[in-house]
Amino acid sequence: MTRATWVLAATTVVGVALSIWLYVDNRSLQAELEKQASQKVAAAPAATDKATANTDPWASFRPASSAAKTAGGPAPKLPDQKEESRLERRQRRQQEFAAMFGRLEGETEEEYRARIVPMIKAGLLIPRQRVDEMRKEAEQKAGVTAEQSKKLDKAFEKVYADAIDYTNKAVADGLLSPYERNVSGWLEYAGGLGGLLGEANQQIGQILTPQQVSAMSTSGFEWGEYLGVNAPWEQLRPPPPPPR
């Protein structure tokens, strides 16, 4: 693969973490849709009562006070919600992200793992199944032997270990943090992953022939995507407690 492809592949790994951010963003959007739905439901009874009053044949026999209660009075509605600015929304989502993926007050590393690891495994389950199937199909098209495939798996063990060590250091150094938005840190982290994936590319080239590498690439398969999804991110060390 070209160097540009590996740089793009590095961002795939960052995308795994950012997908969690999108999950939080989706929760916010879903809450907004539920709020709008509840407003419509609250307004619906008022319209129904009005239609019933116009078609009810017994309405003329009711006491005036009863008719007034049915037809009169403003329709119920929820209090007006303050519209958030873009910066306010971004700040709120950052706080939600920190509350979900940062360390809670007094939370131990074991308690953090028990809370977060199942979420990571569940989020990566389907993507991992998908890239595994894509790899099998691409290897068949490229004529990759079972022995070559085993050698690739063995080589990837070191790639995964290096990626986890590098990510743990990035978290410890503050390049990656659930408590703040550090775009420059994300870019620096992605650049370092590009170097790790470049080393993986060299190992792949030592196991597969150039024709096999080209055939797998032509089929649409990307080793960067495969490695980024299959890395054991659930083994990462928990982040430090939030700053005081």
Name the percent of the chain in helix, strand, coil, to the closest 5. Answer: 75, 0, 25
Domain residue spans in the chain? 3-23+108-235
Its pTM stands at 0.66
Cα atoms in the Cβ-side hemisphere of radius 13 Å centred on 185: 15
Region label for 108, one of left (φ > 0), alpha (ψ between -120 and 50) or beta (otherwise): beta
The DSSP letter of residue 231 is S
What's the rounded Cα separation, in Å, for the pair 32 and 41? 14
Tens digit of each residue's pLDDT (9 = 90 or more) over 208-234: 999 999 999 999 999 999 999 999 999
What's the rounded Cα separation, in Å, for the pair 113 and 147? 36
| DSSP calls for 12-24 | HHHHHHHHHHHHH
Tens digit of each residue's pLDDT (9 = 90 or more) over 47-99: 455 545 455 555 554 555 554 455 556 667 767 677 888 888 888 888 898 98
What's the rounded Cα separation, in Å, for the pair 219 and 32? 41
